[in-house]
Structure 1
Amino acid sequence: MARYTWPFWLLLLAPLVMAQTQAITPLDIVTLPRPSGLSASPNGSLAVYTQSVYDSKQDKTLRQLLLLDLETDIVKSLTDASSDSTQSEPFFLDNENIAYIQHTAGVDVDQLHVLNLESGDSYALTEFPIAFGNIKYNHKKSLLVFSASVYPGGSLEDAKQKDKVLKETKKDTGLVYDQLMVRHWDTFVPEKVNNIFVVQLENDGKYTVGNNTINLLKGTALQSPGFPMGDASDFDISADGETLAFVSKIRSPDNAWETSQHVHIVPTSGESEPVIINGDIPAASAGPKFAPSGVLAYLQMYAPQYESDRNRIIIWDPATGTKTTVAESWDRSPSELAFSPDSNTLFAVADEYGRHKLFSIDLTTEEITALTNEHALSGLSVLSSSRLLFSLNSLEHPNIAHTLDLDSKVLTKHSVSDALSSHLNRLDVSKPDEFVFQGALHDPVHGWILKPADFDASKKYPVAFLIHGGPQGAWSDSWSTRWNPQVFTGAGYVVVAINPHGSTGYGQKFTDDIQRNWGSYPFIDLQKGLDYVLDTNEFLDADRVVALGGSYGGYMINWINGHTNRFKALVNHDGIFSTLNAYYTTDEVYFSEREFGGVPFHTLNRLVYERWSPSNYVQHWQTPTLVIHSGRDYRLVDGEGFATFTALQRQGVPSRLLYFPDENHWVLKPANSLRWHKEVLEWIDKYAKVDEVAVRPEFDPQSSFTVQTEQFLSSTF
Structure 2
Amino acid sequence: MSKRPIDIEDLFHLTQYSDPQIDHKGETYVFTGRAINENQSYTEHLYVQDVHHGELRQWTFGNVKDRFPRFSPDDQTIVFLSNRSGIDQLWSISTNGGAPKQLTYLEHGAGKPHWSPGGRSLLFSAPVGTDRAFTEQVEKTKEEREKNVKKKEPFKIERLKYKSDAMGFHGQKHQQLILFDIETKTSEQLTTNEVDHNVGGWSPNGKKIAYTANLKGDNHIGQDIFIQSIGTVEETRQITASDGTYHDISWSPDGAKIACFGHTYTYDGATQNEIWTIDVSNGEKKLLTPDVDFEIGDAMISDFQSGQHNPGPVWENGQSIIFTASRFGRTGVFRASINGEIHPIFEENRHVYAFSFHKETDVLIAGISSPTDPGNFYAIPLDNGKITQRTYANDAYLSDIQLQEPHTVRFSANDGWEIEGWLLYPSNYNPEKKYPLILEVHGGPHAMYGYSFFHELQVLAGVGYAVLYTNPRGSHGYGQHFVDAVRGDYGGSDYTDLMAALDQTLERFSFIDDARLGVTGGSYGGFMTNWIISHTNRFKAAVTQRSIANWLSFYGVSDIGYYFTKWEIGEHLLDDPAKLWDHSPLKYARDVETPILILHGEQDLRCPIEQAEQWFTVLKYYGKEAVFVRFPDANHELSRNGPPRLRAARLAEIVHWFRDWI
TM-score (norm 1): 0.84
Alignment match, 2:250:
289
1:415, CA displacement in angstroms? 1.8
Aligned counterpart for 1:470 among listed residues 444, 465, 472: 444
1:96, CA displacement in angstroms? 4.1
Deviations 1:598-635 (A, max 9, x none): 21212xx3332122111221111100000111221111
Q: Check whether the contact 1:259–1:306 (CA below 8 A) recurs between aligned residues.
A: no
Aligned counterpart for 2:318 among listed residues 343, 346, 361: 343
What is the alpha-carbon distance in structure 1 between the residues aligned to residue 151 and residue 529 of structure 2? Answer: 45
CA, structure 1 residues 311+518, in 2 after alignment: closer, same or farther (shift >3 Å)?
A: same
Aligned counterpart for 1:522 among listed residues 466, 483, 494: 494
Q: Check whether the contact 1:215–1:270 (CA below 8 A) recurs between aligned residues.
A: no
What is the alpha-carbon distance in structure 2 between the residues aligned to residue 387 and residue 197 of structure 1? Answer: 32
CA, structure 1 residues 95+623, in 2 after alignment: closer, same or farther (shift >3 Å)?
A: same
Alignment match, 1:450:
424
1:590, CA displacement in angstroms? 0.6
Q: Check whether the contact 1:154–1:215 (CA below 8 A) recurs between aligned residues.
A: no
Alignment match, 2:67:
88
Aligned counterpart for 2:4 among listed residues 18, 22, 32: 22
Q: CA RMSD in A?
A: 2.6
Amino acid across the alignment from 1:188? F
Identity between Structure 1 and Structure 2 (%): 23
1:574, CA displacement in angstroms? 1.4
CA, structure 1 residues 317+155, in 2 after alignment: closer, same or farther (shift >3 Å)?
A: farther
What is the alpha-carbon distance in structure 2 between the residues aligned to residue 436 and residue 109 of structure 1? Answer: 48
Amino acid across the alignment from 1:89? F
What is the alpha-carbon distance in structure 2 between the residues aligned to residue 161 and residue 413 of structure 1? Answer: 42
TM-score (norm 2): 0.91
CA, structure 1 residues 155+449, in 2 after alignment: closer, same or farther (shift >3 Å)?
A: farther
Gaps of 5+ in 1: 1-15, 202-208, 226-233, 689-717
Q: Check whether the contact 2:117–2:202 (CA below 8 A) recurs between aligned residues.
A: no
Alignment match, 1:493:
465
Q: Check whether the contact 1:221–1:251 (CA below 8 A) recurs between aligned residues.
A: no
* Greater alpha carbon shift after TM alignment, 178-187 vs 662-671: 178-187
Alignment match, 2:260:
298
What is the alpha-carbon distance in structure 2 between the residues aligned to residue 140 and residue 171 of structure 1? Answer: 44
Alignment match, 1:329:
291
Matched, 1:76 2:54: no
Amino acid across the alignment from 1:143? S
1:305, CA displacement in angstroms? 8.6
Matched, 1:583 2:555: yes
Matched, 1:313 2:289: no
What is the alpha-carbon distance in structure 2 between the residues aligned to residue 113 and residue 214 of structure 1? Answer: 17
What is the alpha-carbon distance in structure 2 between the residues aligned to residue 653 and residue 109 of structure 1? Answer: 46
What is the alpha-carbon distance in structure 2 between the residues aligned to residue 161 and residue 425 of structure 1? Answer: 45
Q: Check whether the contact 2:21–2:70 (CA below 8 A) recurs between aligned residues.
A: yes
Aligned counterpart for 1:241 among listed residues 196, 206, 220: 206
What is the alpha-carbon distance in structure 1 between the residues aligned to residue 90 and residue 162 of structure 2? Answer: 33
Deviations 1:147-203 (A, max 9, x none): 1111359864233399999989x97521111221232215112201011112343xx
Alignment match, 2:106:
129
After superposition, residues 136-535 of structure 1 pair within 5 angstroms as: 136-152=114-130, 156-160=134-138, 173-185=153-165, 187-201=168-182, 209-210=183-184, 213-218=187-192, 220-225=193-198, 234-250=199-215, 252-254=217-219, 258-269=220-231, 271-281=233-243, 283-294=244-255, 295-303=257-265, 306-335=268-297, 337-364=312-339, 366-385=341-360, 386-417=362-393, 420-480=394-454, 484-535=456-507
Alignment match, 2:588:
617
Alignment match, 2:303:
none
CA, structure 1 residues 451+108, in 2 after alignment: closer, same or farther (shift >3 Å)?
A: closer
Q: Check whether the contact 1:293–1:342 (CA below 8 A) recurs between aligned residues.
A: no
What is the alpha-carbon distance in structure 1 between the residues aligned to residue 41 and residue 283 of structure 2? Answer: 52
What is the alpha-carbon distance in structure 2 between the residues aligned to residue 566 and residue 346 of structure 1? Answer: 49
What is the alpha-carbon distance in structure 2 between the residues aligned to residue 548 and residue 171 of structure 1? Answer: 40
SS in 2 for 1:469: coil
Q: Check whether the contact 1:153–1:195 (CA below 8 A) recurs between aligned residues.
A: no
1:531, CA displacement in angstroms? 0.5
What is the alpha-carbon distance in structure 2 between the residues aligned to residue 127 and residue 636 of structure 1? Answer: 35
Gaps of 5+ in 2: 298-309
CA, structure 1 residues 530+172, in 2 after alignment: closer, same or farther (shift >3 Å)?
A: closer
1:517, CA displacement in angstroms? 0.4
Matched, 1:539 2:511: yes
What is the alpha-carbon distance in structure 2 between the residues aligned to residue 361 and residue 353 of structure 1? Answer: 19
SS in 1 for 2:313: strand
SS in 2 for 1:145: strand
